[in-house]
Chain A
């Protein structure tokens, strides 16, 4: 018996009496077979949205930020809302891969690869917004402290916006490296069974010559563990740093010490909701029901309950402080009596409904073990978390310190287009990934076949009966 012992009471993580070869077959199938109709339809929809969004971005760059619905009062709007939303979505992947690796949670093995792909693609979308908001994107490299001819004008390391540059770029590159290193043995598996010369050539390039030598596996496991150890504080630092954009400002409603933990909890909440949304579709399309089981779905829903609970406590605190401070300015922060009854009441109640009331249904086992209910609730959470960021930014600054400058924010068609474009771009990347990459970390999964596979579990149960 290799590997660690697992209590028989735990549900099997791989169902359907699989062998090692079956796992290779199941994971390689989506890559080796032709794409189905559903894939092509989804791909064309995503590509169309992406191209439309790309056009809107080109228009923004050509015309200027005036193409958006920003005004003197609402000088941040949809762009930053979308940025924070996408960064938040990008949190579940590395949490699953890194934090759960350190906690030795085996269920992560079926979902970590796709969750991390989602993370990387989400961070790409997030990065688009601050870059285009700079206006002159061709001088975007000025955000880095490079020697220059301005005498020398360095970047301001006191600024949370620069911290963001470092946090997001490090998160993106470290997540990508972590993801790619884990992919190498799986690329090797695809390479070794490739039939056409081109497939062989491409996967030989990607597999870096991996051969599964004992010493290489030893280094590989050490690398995974240390990268997980490095990525874990990164997961928490990224959204903490994003929250600093607001928390270190001197704007009422933003200047709040609760932001870092509350942003991280919200990010994990929205990240897991997006993982559910994508994986429930991927599991069906790629026939991965034996690997992404009801147990996986339920346990991720439990994470959603926990992080949703943290967010709820934060909302309650913000609302109470908004009222208790007695400050007239605090009465129009995103969670305050003024927000609940003012002109943005619909955005406030959308947030409360989508993030507090609907996810509470997951407390019922019947709901959290129902696939359709999970899918719908996860989608609603995605919407709710978008509204949370919209409320933080727009509700708060639409009523600033001077009543004469109070005004509403109206997004333009370009605002909407850029946002839809990023959804399309994300979809294009994820669909291409699902067709060309091993969507489950098969080498890792094979290590638990004998301890958590259905064959072993059934055998153990029979042994107990005899």
Chain B
């Protein structure tokens, strides 16, 4: 029989949780996951999470949107069916471009915002109707939860108790 267990420790306060994370870091015990009702300042650094790259992705989406804007305005206004509208330049995109700034900008923002949000959902494995990803419903209200997958249950429990945990649950992995 496997000795690996899942340990859940529930804290009532975000400061206690942060102290707990630091204590586990000192002992070199890996924390599997932390669930909190709100973004706790400094938690990502304490857990050693790498910087998210979704803002880099957003920049690429913005460039993509801008390219669509350039292509659509050039194709419709200068290439496919150029018309003389009020004497404005219509045979050269470069000269006509100031009139296209607004739609190009809007397409850029449109693509960046929507595609970044989609990336956020996909990376988090979230979708409409997805079952809750938090093991305890109280973690969206006022409780802060640490999750461990460990063979050394006693050591984890001891540090949790030392750092002021409120409740400990142990389950088979």
Contact = CB atoms under 8 A, between A and B. Distances in A.
A2 B44 contact: no
B84 to A, nearest CB: 11
A185 B40 CA distance: 14
8 nearest A-B residue pairs (beta carbon): A209-B130, A211-B133, A211-B134, A192-B137, A20-B142, A154-B76, A163-B102, A208-B126
A170 B58 CA distance: 16
Secondary structure dominating the interface of B: helix
Given A217-B39, A218-B52, A227 B132 contact: no
Nearest to B103: A166
Interface string A179-214: 001001100110111000000000011111111111
Contacts of A166: 102-103, 106-107
Nearest to A215: B49
A222 B52 contact: yes
B132 A167 contact: no
A244 B106 CA distance: 15
A19 B142 contact: yes
A364 interface: no
A218 B34 contact: no
A21 B141 contact: yes
Given A24-B142, A216-B124, A241 B102 contact: yes
Contacts of B58: 226, 230
Given A163-B106, A223-B120, A226-B54, 17 more contacts: A2-B41, A145-B72, A166-B103, A167-B102, A177-B113, A177-B114, A178-B113, A184-B126, A209-B129, A209-B133, A211-B35, A217-B38, A219-B54, A226-B58, A226-B116, A230-B113, A234-B109
B140 A2 contact: no
Contact of B37 (A191, A208, A214, A446): A446
Interface string B59-88: 000100000000011001100110001101
A31 B130 CA distance: 22
Contact of B112 (A160, A217, A230): A230
Given A217-B36, A218-B44, A157 B141 contact: no
A212 B80 contact: no
A157 B142 contact: no
B128 A206 contact: yes
A159 B128 CA distance: 39
Given A205-B129, A208-B126, A213-B33, A447 B103 contact: no
Interface in A109-126: none
9 contacts: A2-B14, A3-B41, A21-B141, A156-B77, A157-B76, A162-B103, A219-B120, A226-B112, A237-B102
A137 B88 CA distance: 30
A222 B80 CA distance: 41
B125 A209 contact: yes
Which of A2, A177, A181, A206 has the largest number of chain B CB atoms within 10 A? A2
Contacts of A1: 15
Contact of B126 (A193, A210, A450): A210
Interface residues of A, number: 72
A366 interface: no
Contacts of B25: none
Given A2-B14, A154-B80, A237-B105, A204 B39 contact: no
Interface band, chain B:
35 or more
A52 to B, nearest CB: 34
A177 B47 CA distance: 29
B110 A173 contact: yes
A213 B34 contact: yes
Interface of B: 14-15, 18, 33-44, 47, 49, 52, 54-55, 58, 62, 72-73, 76-77, 80-81, 85-86, 88, 96, 99-100, 102-103, 105-107, 109-110, 112-114, 116-117, 120-121, 123-134, 137-142
A174 B76 contact: no
A269 to B, nearest CB: 23
Contacts of A178: 113
Given A226-B55, A237-B102, A174 B39 contact: no
Contact of A446 (B33, B38, B44, B81): B38
A197 to B, nearest CB: 14
A433 B100 CA distance: 37
Nearest to A446: B38
B44 A158 contact: no
B143 to A, nearest CB: 9
Which of B96, B107, B142 has the largest number of chain A CB atoms within 10 A? B142
Contacts of A163: 102-103, 106
A436 interface: no
B76 A192 contact: no
Contacts of A2: 14-15, 18, 40-42
Nearest to B134: A211
A78 to B, nearest CB: 26
Nearest to A156: B85
